[in-house]
Amino acid sequence: MSGYDPRIDEMYFLLSEVLHGPSELARLKPFAELDADLILQILEEAGKFVRGVIAPLSQTGDAVGARWHDGDVTMPPGFKEAYQAFWTAGWPALATQVEDGGQGLPSVLEALLYEMLSAANHGWTMAPGLLHGAYECIKHHASDQLKSEYLEKLATGQWLATMCLTEPQAGSDLGLCSTRANPTADGRYTLTGTKIFISGGEHDLTDNIVHLVLARLPDSPPGPKGLSLFLVPKFYPDGSRSAVQCERIEEKMGLHGSPTCVLRFEEAASWLVGEPGRGLNAMFVMMNAARLHVALQGIGLLDAAWQIADAYARERHQMRAPGKRTPSKNADPIAEHPAIGRILNTQRAWIDAGRTLAYKTAIELDRIRYGTPAAREFAQNWCALVTPVMKSAFTQQAFHGGSECLQVLGGHGYIREWGIEQIIRDARVTMIYEGTNEIQAIDLLVRKVLADDGKGLEGVLDFLAADRPAELPGRARAAQRIDAMRDITRQIIHLAPANAELPYQIADDYLRAFALILLEWSWIRIGATVNADPARDLPRWREPATAFEQWVMPEFQMRLSIIEHQFGLVTT
């Protein structure tokens, strides 16, 4: 069944008409020549590749899975050929630098590409998904020697890469990592230790795999400041194999197309990347981009689930829908039943608003790189605050909203045939990796909002308040909610210094409230665009807009109530 079909027209409408993406990008120097037609053409080609090559491998990838044998990993049928087609067509190189062999196109196009890839086949997409962080990390921190050996291979995707962070005793708390790095006489280091949960730690997609590994130098202090970053490839430039062993791959709830490896490093010769003790900084250089991509996985997976549910609800006839009493039929399409219509429109509301925010954030990532100083400052702040929100909100929505879509199919959703239960199983991990959603909430409130006394947050809220078209009916209500967000933030800032636990107790609610404020901005922006164009298909956009206001936005007041209740406990 399945067969995710990216709706390029809808994605492009949000990017181009709602966000004015092409003209915004054209203001950035490297993209001055990039016109809207070319952007659309690239997206359409990407859609064709995803639909024709990647989507058809998803269900087999789940059913067969990656297989471990004696240290080697065989990927599911067709995965290798698809990857070879992918990199030789230049897709991994879309947004890497021209000087490294890339195409130098905007990050936002890469973002849309990965949304589609994840929607079509999350398991397959894990392998190239990790490439971009490794590329940036090496580009910004590695020695010229390492760059000359590895950068082009990674920029083009000819080789793939891993990020080796987690250890059995060190997950959210990487400061507990104990993998050791000992210097050797030749200026290299031997790595010894075990890393777990390494996506793509071993596979047969590419000739080589480049591992970036967090480890501890001798006499380094305990905790995160004692960690340095090292590079060790599967095969060294001389063709010899490194002492990195894939001990096993995990049996998981889903994502069977992506091998989750236990890697054992046995005095593996490696090189330092960046400065000693600055390993986490080097690795987190691309954290916003990586977390945004996880949010886009969530959006893509939810869209894939929605497509299946929508198609099913139009075909499946059960009972008369209330208010439809024409005697000619004995059942209506379930899409016409209010409970089902609500699910479909509500999840559509999340997807459309999420795309708008994610694409906007990806454009801001391009601005961080190429914008004017003022634009760069705004963009840095936007990405710092919005990224953890997107990561948390849309990975949660992929699982919970995807489960709602499964519910549309009833028992048929629970069986494998329709492909929707796989989406839910695959999606579940996105709430965990790249920083659990609880970590995202703490990142937002403690490390971002409280760290600068709410100034950055005020900047984002000022933008949202100013950007709203005055004529829309929801404007006044939205402005009140923004003010409520400001108020509650000020109260938290006021109470936090005397209550160490308070921010941690309300971080989740705070993130959810802010997410809703951001999503409301998306819907106001979409609404204004749709209203301005009489040729638009109004019900397509108005039904999710209404669903958003009726069934999504009421959570905002609930979150504020929960936070305020917590204030009461603190102050009494």
Q: For residue 128, give the nearest of 182, 82, 73, 63 by alpha carbon.
A: 82
C-beta of 122 vs 337, nearer to a second copy = 337
For residues 129-144, one letter each, b for 16 or more C-beta atoms within 10 angstroms of the residue's C-beta and e for the rest, the string is bbbbbbbbbbbebbee
Instruction: Note whether 248 and 301 are within 8 A (CB).
Output: no
DSSP 289-336: HHHHHHHHHHHHHHHHHHHHHHHHHHH-B-SPPTT---TT-S--BGGG
Nearer to a second copy among residue 143 and residue 403 (C-beta): 403
Q: Shortest Cβ distance from residue 428 to a second copy (Å)?
A: 6
CA atoms 421, 427, 432, 433: torsion sign: positive
Torsions phi, psi for 269 (to 5 deg): -65, 130
Based on CB atoms, which residue is closest to a second copy, 374 or 500? Answer: 500
- Residue tagged active-site, from 24, 434, 543, 555: 434
| Angle at CA of residue 308, ends 302 and 309, nearest 5° | 85
Please, which residue, 413 or 544, has the CB nearer to a second copy? 413
Tokens found for residue 563: 């936070």
Q: Confirm whether 434 is a catalytic residue.
A: yes
**All residues at 6 or more sequence positions from 367 whose CB lies less than 8 Å from its CB, including other chains:** 28, 375, 376, 378, 379
Task: Provide, rounded to whole angstroms, the least separation between the CB of residue 561 and a second copy.
Answer: 5
- Name, in order, each residue with C-beta under 8 angstroms of 185's C-beta and a sequence gap of 6 or more: none
The least CB distance from residue 153 to a second copy, in Å, is: 29
Q: Do residues 312 and 1 lie in contact, with contact meaning Cβ atoms separated by under 8 Å?
A: no
The torsion angles phi and psi of 558, rounded to 5 degrees, stand at: -65, -40
* Closer of 149 and 426 to a second copy (Cβ): 426
The least distance separating a second copy from the CB of residue 168, rounded to whole angstroms, comes to 9
- The 3-state DSSP class for residue 496 equals helix
Q: How far is the CB of 348 from a second copy (least distance, A)?
A: 17
Query: Tokens 């705004």 belong to which residue?
Result: 378
Nearest approach in angstroms of CB 320 to a second copy is 9
Nearest to a second copy of 273, 280 (CB atom) = 280
Q: Which amino acid is at 395?
A: T
Task: Return the active site residues.
Answer: 434
